[in-house]
Amino acid sequence: MAKKVNIGLIGCSFMGKAHSNAYLSVSKFFETKLEPILKVACDLDEKIARAFQKQWGWQEYSTDCREVVARDDIDIVDICTPNDTHCEITLAAARAKKHIICEKPLAMNVAEAKKMVNAAKKARVVNMVCHNYRRVPALSLAKEMIDSGELGEIYHYRGFYLQDWITDPSFPLVWRLKKEHAGSGAHGDLNAHIIDLAHYLVGDISEVVGVMETFIKRRPLPAGVSGLSARGKKKMGRVTVDDAALFLARFKNGALGSFEATRFALGRKNGQRIEINGSKGSIVFELERMNELQFYSGADSKGRQGFRLIQVTEPSHPFIHGYWPPGHIIGYEHSFINTVRDLIDAIGSGKRTVRPSFEDGLKVQKVLDAVEKSCRGRRWVKV
Amino acid sequence: MAKKVNIGLIGCSFMGKAHSNAYLSVSKFFETKLEPILKVACDLDEKIARAFQKQWGWQEYSTDCREVVARDDIDIVDICTPNDTHCEITLAAARAKKHIICEKPLAMNVAEAKKMVNAAKKARVVNMVCHNYRRVPALSLAKEMIDSGELGEIYHYRGFYLQDWITDPSFPLVWRLKKEHAGSGAHGDLNAHIIDLAHYLVGDISEVVGVMETFIKRRPLPAGVSGLSARGKKKMGRVTVDDAALFLARFKNGALGSFEATRFALGRKNGQRIEINGSKGSIVFELERMNELQFYSGADSKGRQGFRLIQVTEPSHPFIHGYWPPGHIIGYEHSFINTVRDLIDAIGSGKRTVRPSFEDGLKVQKVLDAVEKSCRGRRWVKV
Amino acid sequence: MAKKVNIGLIGCSFMGKAHSNAYLSVSKFFETKLEPILKVACDLDEKIARAFQKQWGWQEYSTDCREVVARDDIDIVDICTPNDTHCEITLAAARAKKHIICEKPLAMNVAEAKKMVNAAKKARVVNMVCHNYRRVPALSLAKEMIDSGELGEIYHYRGFYLQDWITDPSFPLVWRLKKEHAGSGAHGDLNAHIIDLAHYLVGDISEVVGVMETFIKRRPLPAGVSGLSARGKKKMGRVTVDDAALFLARFKNGALGSFEATRFALGRKNGQRIEINGSKGSIVFELERMNELQFYSGADSKGRQGFRLIQVTEPSHPFIHGYWPPGHIIGYEHSFINTVRDLIDAIGSGKRTVRPSFEDGLKVQKVLDAVEKSCRGRRWVKV
Amino acid sequence: MAKKVNIGLIGCSFMGKAHSNAYLSVSKFFETKLEPILKVACDLDEKIARAFQKQWGWQEYSTDCREVVARDDIDIVDICTPNDTHCEITLAAARAKKHIICEKPLAMNVAEAKKMVNAAKKARVVNMVCHNYRRVPALSLAKEMIDSGELGEIYHYRGFYLQDWITDPSFPLVWRLKKEHAGSGAHGDLNAHIIDLAHYLVGDISEVVGVMETFIKRRPLPAGVSGLSARGKKKMGRVTVDDAALFLARFKNGALGSFEATRFALGRKNGQRIEINGSKGSIVFELERMNELQFYSGADSKGRQGFRLIQVTEPSHPFIHGYWPPGHIIGYEHSFINTVRDLIDAIGSGKRTVRPSFEDGLKVQKVLDAVEKSCRGRRWVKV
């Protein structure tokens, strides 16, 4: 573990925290090929940047991401900023020949995503989009099982991602609810995850038809932006993204897909649920119980068949050897540790490639865009 | 309980059994206004009719449904035959001024359903379509809760009905897999249920877009029909109905719906699952655990919120006073007992009307037809 | 099904209802060797007896159980009365050479139970104690699995039966809370069930140590018995049975047992839960989800092990062929139908024996008594 | 966070790893009063100590715990060694006036535990026994709820801790299976946890009666110790601890307790389960789903009662503000982070006291010893 790899983190909010913890922990839990050094943490807001640097033990902080990206001593640029900045930062990082990991969704649209793919390709840098759920051990196991044929031919993919954090109409009009910053609402935020998992587990999607809705069309402006109107009421603004986005899909291999993302499912906090039915078996995954994978095997003997609850905490399961004994669960943050492990091992081993790559991110973007087009045109659209 | 009501049952298969048991038990568990008499059981196949009559204690058997329908001593005609005969038998029964209960789906298409509605209306007889799940106590309770506003404004209806009985490609080409007899496959058989429940719980559907698939396109002819080909292989025939049918919907009240019916979900035996999210609460129902209703209330105090598992076995819950103490569950068949109870009480009380009526059945048929049209046209279709 | 068998039912309360329904339905769902005839329903209270006879379709009613037991046209005496009358009625029925089914617990104590066993033996009549849970299909399946060695050598039996119906201190002092009528509280009522299941599934118990408690020691006298005291307060009486009874056990085969019965587990309505761990596998059963059996098999391949949820609704599962298709669940009452089926088939086939017999009931009584002795002596007691 | 606190870790195995991670992360997730410095990691085996130091980023390593304990620059001694060394190291650390955190069970017996309590008291150092489960947020929440009266008077505590890692008879005779090193088997290892939780949640235990068993009495000697006998068979040795230990208990407040620890429950990996029933509510906790707490409230309205699944991931829940948004779960290791946070905050704030203290550890030891005495004497024993 002699060799180091220096990280420049852009964006010090929720994802910045998850990524910092991953860099901090990865070489403790795993024998990595390189040791990540928390070099610079960067945020537009200096107060945030400074506090974050101190809290998470970054060596320096910065408020200028261009400068960070260009520094000679930075090896990996890690992009944790809002969606509308991903493309620009990526292009700068690629020009500077940095390896790049970028939060999802990769871009605001297909056009941006293509630029990012091309820039990374041209620069010949390792590039990864942070679809961290691929490395939840239960989903990595699901992938192994599907690849080895344990589920047979796939007939159905059912992916849901249900949350409830904006159900209250008085929840303010934050940037995530404005199209210019977020691109879309539940669609890009949540569907992006379950589309990527569909690609990972089932394969490419050929066509889609969808529907989107904004249930609460106007919301109070957030504190700072807002103010009271002449009549003493809070000023309101228009929500310009979707609250919910559902779509049906056909996969190239003949499977059918059903996708649903919403922020209006009261009681569902992080309610991602994946069910896949194949000719030989079925699996079910629920993110809030992410250490478990349900598996129904058609090969079990007659009268003894049933969905079995695999606790994905055995040393033989993906990533688990780095952590704890059977039955001692890991949490949300470990999906980032696992992701970062594979990123730096790809760099350290000279493999130069790791999935999900920007190509994978582009593929997600194509589906996201096709769904939006379908919603406008009210008909099926090829991806 | 002095007055009797005589039943003529048409069709002595699975549904005939469920209905017979209901007539047998209903006046034991409940104080009904009329006592049902198991008068005549009718099936085209005499052997079946005779055995069934003996087994279930019907007073007589018949092989001629026209004659049964016309008998003076029959008060209720109960139609448990394949879908392609519902219309004809209904018309005959209405002409004879009999009350009618008919298995679902009501008809082969909207045209037939309309004829049936009109005939029943003209004859002024009590008419009911046997969507028995409305009277699973947990779903009746859900209805009460929604009506009383406990869920608030409804945003999402998620209805699934997953089975796996024809996943095996060597499963034979039975009548249910032929369009001329069954009308459709999973669509009419399973979606009919979750559409009716959507109407019951949420309201009318305004438009739909769907997709259907037949995964296994050719199957061996069933024993009796089949034979060996010249080369010693089993003769094959074409499947002419859908194996799976999915659709998205908009409700008139603004809610979004997601529906899925399939016979290719390995491990799902009778996997009906309903989730409804509203502005004040959410509910989840699973048919295989039909004595339970999950309920999330936004009104619970902070830090104590969560989906609670209501065991719908309390005397205060719908229909339960007739059965057993708390925690002593009832089964599938009780949904028919409850249905029949309300049918004969409607007749006995002179109310002359009970839901779901043929009108309700027609409404389901309209949605089923709209989905089929949408699948052909590959676009959204108004109901 | 030509031959009939006439039933005389003694006791028209909760159990009388469950048994009546079983006699009514058993020859409908199954091809039984004899057809049960609901001949006479008997209750001390004429009003109750008459109403019950009418409701459940018994041919006659009576208030004199001696007379019923002695009638020539009665073949089976079915005892559904309070515990303190089981012995006397059994002795009379045996003298009259009637087959007998008796509700559990068999007797008030070992001495009574022995008399009953001897009387039945001497009379050479079929005798059965109604431990109906043995014939919940999931538990019958568990028995098959254990007998065939699928669980290997048994190490642990964990049996709980948790209810909450007297948690409220204002719940009145009903007969079940008085030792002279009920013999004991949760102990005889609930432990009797899980002791019988332990015998059925694991084997004989060699020694026990226990503890009992009465949490609420005085309760209001029930309406009718009660009255207001001079000061206008409700009159109170002493609870003379246990509210909860727990014990540890050693089985003859070396397994350890843990038993708990309580009426003070708020939220548990009919919370029977059995877990058995063996050298090759484990099972879990929960009565409120009685159509399910959880099974962990050590023989499953590495990385794919887990408790699997067997829906015990397949035609290959015990008793299910008589009922509905896979996934269509049965309820509490079906355990009685299954019990009665085996009783009348034992009579009809001339086998003259069926389990659990009075001998089995006596064995339960011996354990119940040993636990009571242990509680008094505060030490381990041999059974 | 200016001030530092230097840690000396004794023992570099499983617990050493969990504690190292806690020191590494605690000041990242929380604003702690002191910043822990990973000063020296100590293990008897130099190879292990060196590798561990490097892996987890300790500044130094040592093989001499006496020297570490005596170093001036060590503030906290953290004892993660086998049970038979806890006492000696503690006494040395106390003499050197170091704050001490010691893994559970605190000691080999009551006599040792008393010495440790006295030494710590005399030295006036902060002392803590690492019963980490008290700081699983769901259990901390349970404590809050019980303290605030939400469960009312407690009637039942049901604690189980089921594992299966030595079910295979060919599993070798490791040190944990020898009385001289481990003190006891499942009893001290697993019952210690659920006894401490009982003290935490319900109160003091007044008397106990128990049973222990060693199912597999002889096992192969472990590699290194073992060898082949003359006949080519593996040499066997005697297991001198319990495989399973069960006991019943009375609490001082009148509640009844049921405890079970076993390593022979096939399929149970880390199967800790706690159920508490009170006069106003009940809770259930399962360690393998440690982010959830089930809660039944008797105060819920009629017909809407049921166990609700609280996801203990809200910012208002104990410790959660340091981590992730709702529904994003934490894992096993976070219980150690939370424990260490409170330890160093107790030191930093000058409070000098934190629970569970050595006194609490002694109290657990008294119950453990009383159970052992009860098993020998085959009768109830006062604690």
pLDDT confidence band for B126 (50 / 70 / 90): very high
Q: What is the largest CA-CA distance in chain C?
A: 73
Q: Tell me: the pLDDT tens digits for D53-111? A: 999 999 999 999 999 999 999 999 999 999 999 999 999 999 999 999 999 999 999 99
Compute the nearest-CA separation of A304 from chain C (Å).
Answer: 6
What are the structure tokens assigned to A159, written together?
């992916």
Token pair recorded at residue C67: 């007379």
pLDDT of residue D352: 84
Pick the residue from chain D with its C-alpha nearest to A162.
D327
CA–CA separation, A126 vs D75, rounded Å?
44
- Contact check, Cβ <8 Å, B279/A298: no
Residue B57 φ then ψ, to 5°: 75, 30
| Average per-residue pLDDT for chain D | 96
Band (pLDDT 50/70/90 cuts) for residue A223 is confident
Q: In the structure, what pLDDT confidence band is assigned to residue C232 with cuts at 50, 70 and 90?
A: low
Residue B33 has pLDDT above 90, yes or no: yes
Contact at CB, C302 and A317, closer than 8 angstroms? no
> Does the structure show a pLDDT above 50 at C1?
no
pLDDT tens for C194-204 read: 999 999 999 99
- The answer on pLDDT for B171 being more than 70 is yes
Residue type, B26: V
pLDDT in tens, B52-108: 999 999 999 999 999 999 999 999 999 999 999 999 999 999 999 999 999 999 999
From chain C, pick out residues whose CB is under 8 angstroms from the CB of B313. 269
| Residue A301 per-residue DSSP state | P
Cβ–Cβ below 8 Å for B54 and C329: no
Chains in contact with A, where contact requires at least 3 CB pairs less than 8 Å apart: B, C, D
**What are residue D112's DSSP bridge partners?**
none
C-alpha span between A327 and B127 (Å, rounded): 56
Q: State the angle between helix axes of A110-123 and A358-377 in degrees (0 to 180), rounded to the nearest 10.
A: 170
Residue A227 has pLDDT above 60, yes or no: no
Say yes or no for a CB contact (<8 Å) between A247 and B244: no
pLDDT score, position A1: 46
Q: What is the pLDDT of residue D350?
A: 84
pLDDT digits (tens, 9 = 90+) for B323-375: 999 999 999 999 999 999 999 999 999 888 999 999 999 999 999 999 999 99
Q: How confident is the model at residue A225 (pLDDT cuts 50, 70, 90)?
A: low
Q: Whole-angstrom Cα distance, residue B35 to residue A72? A: 90
**Identity of the residue numbered D114:** K
Token readout for C213 is 């408690």
pLDDT digits 0-9 by tens, B307-329:
999 999 999 999 999 999 999 99
Interface of D with C (CB under 8 A): 155-156, 158, 160, 162, 164, 167, 209-211, 213, 215, 244, 246-248, 250, 254, 256, 258, 260, 262, 264-268, 275, 277-282, 296, 298, 305-307, 378-380
Rounded Cα gap, residues D50 and D62, in angstroms: 8
Q: Is the pLDDT of residue A228 over 90?
A: no
**Dihedral of CA D110/D115/D116/D118: which sign?**
positive
D145 has a pLDDT exceeding 50: yes
pLDDT band of D227, cuts 50, 70, 90: low
Closest CA to B209 of B160, B264, B257: B257
Going by pLDDT thresholds of 50, 70 and 90, the confidence category of residue A138 is: very high
- Predicted confidence at residue B299, as pLDDT, reads 96
CA distances from D209 to A58, B91, C198, D189, D371 (A): 56, 75, 21, 18, 6
- Which candidate in A133, A270, A290 is best for mutational testing of the D interface (most D CBs within 10 A)? A270
The per-residue pLDDT for A2 is 59
- Contact list in A for residue B264 (CB cut-off 8 A) is 155-156, 277
Q: What is the pLDDT of residues D17-26, one digit of tens each?
A: 999 999 999 9
Residues of chain A in Cβ contact (below 8 Å) with chain C: 141, 295, 297, 300, 302-311, 314, 316-317
Check residue A43 and give its pLDDT. 97
Query: How many beta-carbon contacts under 8 Å exist across A and B?
Result: 120
D298 vs C contacts (CB less than 8 Å):
167, 266-267
Which amino acid appears at position B58 of this protein? Answer: W
Residue B158 · residue A260 · CB < 8 Å: yes
| Max intra-chain CA distance, chain D | 73
Interchain CB distance below 8 Å, A327 and D54: no
Nearest by CB to C281, from D266, D280, D282: name it: D266
Nearest to C306 among A303, A305, A309 (CB): A309
Q: Which residues of B touch A210 (CB under 8 A)?
A: 248
Q: Which residue has the tokens 């949640």?
A: D201
DSSP B325-351: STT----TTHHHHHHHHHHHHHHHTT-
Q: Mind listing the pLDDT tens digit for each residue in B259-310?
A: 999 999 999 999 999 999 999 999 999 999 999 999 999 999 999 999 999 9
- pLDDT band at residue A234 under the 50/70/90 scheme: confident
* Interface touch C308/A308, C-beta < 8 Å: yes
Please give the pLDDT value at position C60: 98
Residue A224 reports pLDDT greater than 70: no
How many Cα atoms occupy the beta-carbon half-sphere of B106 within 13 Å?
33
Predicted confidence band at B1 (pLDDT cuts at 50, 70, 90)?
very low
Q: How far apart are CA A107 and CA A367, in angstroms?
A: 12
The whole-model pTM stands at 0.97
d(CA D159, CA C280): 24
d(CA C211, CA D257): 10
C56-96 pLDDT, tens digit per residue, is 999 999 999 999 999 999 999 999 999 999 999 999 999 99
Inter-chain CB proximity A330 and D327 less than 8 Å: no
pLDDT, average across residues D272-281: 98
* Structure token digits, residue B9: 């049952």
pLDDT at D148 over 80: yes
- Give the orientation angle of helix C192-201 with respect to helix C358-377, to 10 degrees: 120
- Burial-class residue B236 by CB neighbours within 10 Å (0-12, 13-18, 19+): middle
- For C258, D153, D199, D283, the CA distances from D254, given in Å and listed in that order, are 20, 9, 13, 18
Structure tokens at B54: 């003996």
DSSP string, C210-223: EEEE-S--EEEPPT
Ramachandran angles phi, psi of A190, nearest 5°: -105, -45
**C227, pLDDT greater than 60:** no
ipTM value, please give it.
Answer: 0.95
